[in-house]
Structure 1
Amino acid sequence: MLADHTTLDQHIALLQDKGYLEANFKTATQVGYWLKELQEQFDQSYQQAHLAGEATRFIATISGRFNADLDLLHCSFRYRYDPQSDALSLTSLYTKLYQFKRPYYLDKQMDLPSAQDVYDRLAVALAKKEHEPLFCQLRQEFQREKDPANDYHPPNPRERPFIHPLDLRDAPAFRLKIRR
């Protein structure tokens, strides 16, 4: 958990510094509505925590566009409010880009990654998946060039061809004669 940021305003400043409230995530008006929803979730969590006397959790989700608005990155921030210490902490961040997901568990040693870093890590996995057939073809061509024995050889007419056992039943020498 991030001990340096204990209030909602400090967490909003942290999100702003890390690029989660930039124009590629939402317009200024949409960011205002999202921050209002975050404030309402925090207020509800605050009230529940003080009534129950134990820590409560809530999730804030935001989406942003990268790569000339072609890729949509989904981010879910997991918060925990502790009434004993009167502290709000960001416990984890779950991210998703298409089918690729990556969780970030945050503690004192690890800081919240920037939005661009999160996108870059998921984009590498996306690029590997999209270009995998090309990489396989290049690998096969490399192996062929590296070892000439892997080259394609046309069939040699002097070699005896392989005949499958099921094809033998049609050969005249192997037909069974049925006696009546």
Structure 2
Amino acid sequence: TSMPNFWLGLMLIILFALHWRLFPTGGKFGWSSIVLPAVTVGFGLAALITRITRSSMLDVLRQDYMTTARAKGCSEKQVIYRHGLKNALIPIITAIGLQMSLVITGSVLAETVFSWPGIGRLVYESITRRDIPMVTGSIIMCSILMCLINLFVDLVYAFFDPRIKAQYSKKG
């Protein structure tokens, strides 16, 4: 979590592109050139999602209905996946939604390190060239994308938590 994207990207380039020659150092040369930037951006985000999943599951596992499910004779696998994970998903979905916004708008460093054309790099280059219409359009586009992601996260809440669906389906 504390590892900066640009440092991790440079270390991945040194190991996997220069030392072992498994991937290209940067640019857009097909699917193999996506691997290192994706790992760079996703590594820190995966650590955060893992921490949130762990803390949410620990909270859920202490609940009385988990003990009841075990007492009913459910296997530990059923207790964890059917009862525990389903109830622990709301904070996880929230974190994933917030992280998706950061992936779309905040991967400027990874795009710069890997010479990858992306939204963050476009905004950065537009700011340095003082291209006001492009900066304005990019900010509006990113704002719309973030609103759509938040809408999607709210819709996913209703799918995973029946209490939320029931709250909105009540008639007057």
- State the TM-score, normalized to the length of structure 2: 0.29
- Structure with greater proportional strand content: 1
Report 1 or 2 for greater relative contact order, CA contacts < 8 Å, sequence distance ≥ 6. Answer: 2
